[in-house]
Amino acid sequence: MKQRTLLKIAWQSIVKNTMRTLLTMLGIVIGVAAVIVMVAVGNGAQSQITASISSLGTNLIVVSPGAAAQGGVSQGAGTFSRLTIGDAERLKLEGTTLAAVSPVISTRQVVIGLAGNWRTSINGVSPDYFTIRDWTATSGDLFVAADIKAARKIAVIGATVAKNLFPGVDAIGAQVQVGHVPFVVTAVLEAKGQNATGADQDDVILVPYTTAENRLSGNVRLGQILVSSFSPAEIPAAQSEITAIMREAHRLDGSTEDDFTVRNQADIAKAATSSTAVMSALLAAIASISLLVGGIGIMNIMLVSVTERTREIGIRMAIGARGSDVLTQFLVESVVMSILGGVVGLGAGYAGSMLLARLSGWNTAVPLSAVLIAVGFSAGVGVFFGFYPARKAAALNPIEALRYE
């Protein structure tokens, strides 16, 4: 039997029982749509996290405090800090693979500006910080090494701080009071948006780390040291060099574990996206159950169709149709219904993901691989669940089929 004839007969059979066909396809439609929406949400989240990680800086390496142990139990990374400004200065002086190094002294205080007050993060950093984070100013001038040496009371403010403390006016040259210390605003940073954890990167004020140490924090321990290598290929070598310099600075012998942690951008991105990937896979697996249910529905309907068309099958066999022709005919009907359901489900999934993005503000992205897998899987469901009814039809005895009432 020719392929065109098979498709024509299958289409006629599907159209003849439109309502039953639609109900049969419903499970496939819901399954494919659910899978597309879940994959779109998962991929959108991962894309957003990747973009946020990239916005952290160029060839970024983060040196963080180590973990303290209490009663033989680790209290987690960052609970014990031995990082000092001296460590950052030593890395800057001795590092041969390090393009830039900046200590980060962090505090959070209320800042008073032209439009009132605003509680924000104050970070004491070096000029290298702007290079590491690939952060430029939309207006004004960033501070330089001379400002660090003189511990000047100048501030570079983020876009969110500028919006809340100086709405609609130029903040350059204006004064902000951090705690009881007045600072002069010398620059406003370009907007970077949220980071991978959802925190606003623009809600920050950057000041020379010497000023932060003497005037604001009074804390000689650092929250982190930011480093960048000359190129992505040199990141592993830079990490090894950082570890060696830090261990020597902290006088750690060969049997003592590091009291600091060195992570690169890839490590940070992997940690941030791993939970999202697992959740996306779980949601897609749950949504795939609908495809299984839809396949069972197709098998049941095809079995009913075989029973209803027993006499028709007998007539076709009596005039020369082979069992393989009957098998192929019913398989084609099953696959056509599955593919139609998959295509409709694909459209519904796209529409659902766009609607979800608009209503919730989430990023959604449907990769081509998900489209191909969803449609291919729906066709596979048609073949798998349509084979038994098709085989049953092909195995009918022509004489008994002709006698069937």
Residues 127 and 143 sit within 8 Å (Cβ to Cβ): yes
Q: Rounded CA gap, 156 and 67, in Å? A: 32
Region 184-204 average pLDDT: 85
Give the residue with greater pLDDT, 356 vs 14.
Answer: 356
Give the residue with greater pLDDT, 193 vs 122.
Answer: 122
Give the residue with greater pLDDT, 228 vs 305.
Answer: 228
* Cα distances (Å, whole numbers) of residue 305 to 220, 301, 363: 80, 6, 44
Residues 61 and 239 sit within 8 Å (Cβ to Cβ): yes
Name the pairing type of β-strands 116-125 and 137-140.
unpaired
- Give the model's pLDDT for residue 398: 66
Fill in the amino acid letter for 90. R
The pTM (predicted TM-score) of the whole model is 0.58
- Give the model's pLDDT for residue 70: 43
Name the pairing type of β-strands 154-157 and 181-189.
parallel
- Give the model's pLDDT for residue 273: 56
* Cα distances (Å, whole numbers) of residue 402 to 10, 318, 362: 21, 9, 60
pLDDT digits (tens, 9 = 90+) for 77-107: 445 567 889 999 999 999 999 999 999 998 8
Delimit the domains of the chain by residue range.
Answer: 3-52+271-403, 83-258
Partners of 261 in the β-ladder: 64
Token look-up 């940070």 returns 268
* Cα distances (Å, whole numbers) of residue 250 to 77, 97, 370: 17, 20, 50
Res 194 pLDDT > 80: no
Token pair for 17: 């029982």
Q: Rounded CA gap, 145 and 27, in Å? A: 66
Token look-up 């749509």 returns 33
Q: Rounded CA gap, 374 and 343, in Å? A: 9
The total of other beta-carbon atoms located within 10 Å of residue 275's CB is: 11
Q: Rounded CA gap, 54 and 312, in Å? A: 65
- Give the model's pLDDT for residue 36: 81
- Give the model's pLDDT for residue 399: 64
Residues 364 and 44 sit within 8 Å (Cβ to Cβ): yes
Region 16-43 average pLDDT: 77
Region 209-237 average pLDDT: 84
pLDDT digits (tens, 9 = 90+) for 238-249: 999 999 999 999
pLDDT digits (tens, 9 = 90+) for 344-387: 888 888 888 888 778 776 777 777 777 777 777 777 777 777 77
Q: Rounded CA gap, 53 and 265, in Å? A: 7
Res 52 pLDDT > 90: no
Residues 306 and 389 sit within 8 Å (Cβ to Cβ): yes
3-state secondary structure the chain: CCHHHHHHHHHHHHHHCHHHHHHHHHHHHHHHHHHHHHHHHHHHHHHHHHHHHHCCCCCEEEEEEEEEEECCEEEEEEEECCCEHHHHHHHHHHCCCEEEEEEEEEEEEEEEECCEEEEEEEEEECCHHHHHCCCCEEEECCCCHHHHHHCCCEEEECHHHHHHHCCCCCCCCCEEEECCEEEEEEEEECCCCECCCCCECCCEEEEEHHHHHHHHHCCCECCEEEEEECCHHHHHHHHHHHHHHHHHHCCCCCCCCCCEEEEEHHHHHHHHHHHHHHHHHHHHHHHHHHHHHHHHHHHHHHHHHHHHCHHHHHHHHHCCCCHHHHHHHHHHHHHHHHHHHHHHHHHHHHHHHHHHHHHHCCCCCCCHHHHHHHHHHHHHHHHHHHHHHHHHHHCCCHHHHHHCC
Most confidently predicted of 43-47, 77-81, 182-186, 366-370: 182-186
Residues 95 and 225 sit within 8 Å (Cβ to Cβ): no
Cα dihedral 257/262/266/270 (nearest 10): 50
Q: Rounded CA gap, 39 and 349, in Å? A: 10
- Give the model's pLDDT for residue 198: 67
Token pair for 333: 């009907």
Token pair for 353: 């993901």
Q: Rounded CA gap, 221 and 216, in Å? A: 13
Token look-up 């290929």 returns 233
User: Any idea which of 50-54, 72-76, 180-184, 315-319 has the lowest mean pLDDT?
Assistant: 72-76
